[in-house]
Amino acid sequence: MPWSKFRQDYAAPTGGRPLSYCAAIREAIDQAMRHDPRVFAIGLDADDKFGVFGSMANLTHPERVLGTPIAENAMTGVALGAALSGLRPIHVHLRNDFLLVAMDQIVNYVAKWQDMFDHQVRVPLVIRSIIGRGWGCGAQHSQSLHGLFAQVPGLKVVMPSTPYDVKGLFLAAVADDSPVLFLEHRWLYKNTGDVPEALYTLPFGRCARLHEGESLTVVAASLAAVHARLACETHGLDVDLLDPRTIKPLDIDGIVASVQRTGRLLVVDHDFPFGGFAAEIVAQVAERAHGALRQPPQRICFPDRGMPASGVLERAYYPTPDRLAAAMQAMLAGELVGGGHGF
């Protein structure tokens, strides 16, 4: 199947129509399955009557959607084996916390299979997972583990924030001959934006500029990008807001170029701080553009502890657009933000 002919760059969508994030991902899955008979979806409750929060409802090929028992580790191996046998599996998880049960297969098998055999084989496997949080779900049902997975060589980690990106990047993930971890935040599902009807793929490793400014570079992905954009727009901040869209590969050139203009860097990351995605960006910018920094770079992450359940604690635990705005304003005023990890 010639997936290459669908390549599209990040031009503003033309000929699109408004679609929700959820509908965009659904359309991508449906088109991938219609376009390529090797594509199938598998996962616990992948075939449930809710269609995975609507993202897989009423697909053209329900016969290629397979439910599984609670057996995430083995099912990851099954998906890998199918990928090594010529299929293009989409392994679906309702929450990314469940991926941890499959860590052995993901880290030791899926991520390593190509490196171990010097890339003689293709591993066209998409592991798709929804990130959830809120309503007292607590420490085991609210994590966003992109930083952990990005640390492992051999995995691409994609977390789009807009309907246009989610469709194009999902199709790119299916078209990719290496493993891709595709993370969708549940809170983005209702957001709408213009999405072309045709099948298209978008390139990995290219930032989107969600807000233009000259005085502070803010890097944020997925829901954090949407919150950061809201903060910039509500308060009219002079911020250059970059959404990396793919955590790995990372558009570090785009980020560095921005920091060289603004002289300031803030990373907003909905993940744990220690050794995480935000830390990685700060480290790479320090290596590449130390001289351009007018202020120590700052991070806003989750606190370095598991998620609490009580509503009052949840609301304090997660950074809000208002708190992001306050942090950006403080940096723009020349103040330091947190203690170096989290805010």
Ligand X SMILES: Cc1ncc(C[n+]2csc(CCOP(=O)(O)OP(=O)(O)O)c2C)c(N)n1
Query: From CA 25, how far away is CA 19, in angstroms rounded?
Result: 10
The one-letter code for the residue type at 324 is L
Could you give the string, one character per residue 86-115, with x where binding to ligand X holds by CB under 6 A and - elsewhere?
------------x--x--------------
Q: What is the DSSP string of 63-118?
A: GGEEE--S-HHHHHHHHHHHHHTT-EEEEEES-GGGGGGGHIIIIIIITTHHHHTT
How many angstroms separate the first and last alpha carbons of the chain?
48
- Considering CB under 6 A, how many residues would be counted as binding ligand X? 5
Nearer to another protein, 109 or 343 (CB): 343
Q: How far is the CB of 197 from ligand X (least distance, A)?
A: 34
Minimum CB separation of residue 229 from ligand X in Å reads 32
Catalytic residue among 35, 61, 91, 141: 141
88 vs 141 by CB, closer to another protein = 141
Q: Would residue 141 show up in a list of annotated catalytic residues for this protein?
A: yes
316 contact, one of ligand X, another protein, none, CB 5-8 Å limit per kind: another protein
Q: Does 316 bind another protein (CB under 8 A)?
A: yes
From the list 156-164, 225-233, 235-243, 306-314, the region that binds another protein by CB under 8 A is 306-314
In sequence order, the 6+-apart residues with CB closer than 8 A to the CB of 117 are none
> Please, which of residues 153-192 interact with another protein by CB under 8 A?
none
Of the residues 20, 28, 29, 72, which one makes contact with ligand X according to CB under 6 A = 72
3-state helix, strand, coil in the chain (%, to 5): 40, 20, 40
Site for ligand X in 1-60 (CB under 6 A): 44
- Judged by CB under 8 A, the stretch of 95-103, 117-125, 247-255, 290-298 that binds another protein is 95-103
Does 333 bind ligand X (CB under 6 A)? Our answer is no
Contact in structure between 170 and 28 (CB atoms under 8 Å): yes
Cα 23 to chain center, whole Å? Answer: 17
Partner interacting with residue 139 (select from another protein, ligand X, none; CB below 5-8 Å by kind): another protein
Cβ neighbour number for residue 11 with a 10 Å cutoff: 6
Q: Does 70 bind ligand X (CB under 6 A)?
A: yes
Of the candidates 187, 210, 198, 227, which has an alpha carbon nearest to the alpha carbon of residue 22? Answer: 187
| 93 touches another protein by CB under 8 A | no
H or E element, residue 228: helix 222-235
DSSP 245: S
One-letter identity of residue 106: I
DSSP 201: B
Active site residues: 141
Contacts to another protein by CB under 8 A: 45, 48-49, 67, 69-71, 73-74, 97-98, 100-101, 135-141, 273, 303-306, 308-317, 338-339, 341-343
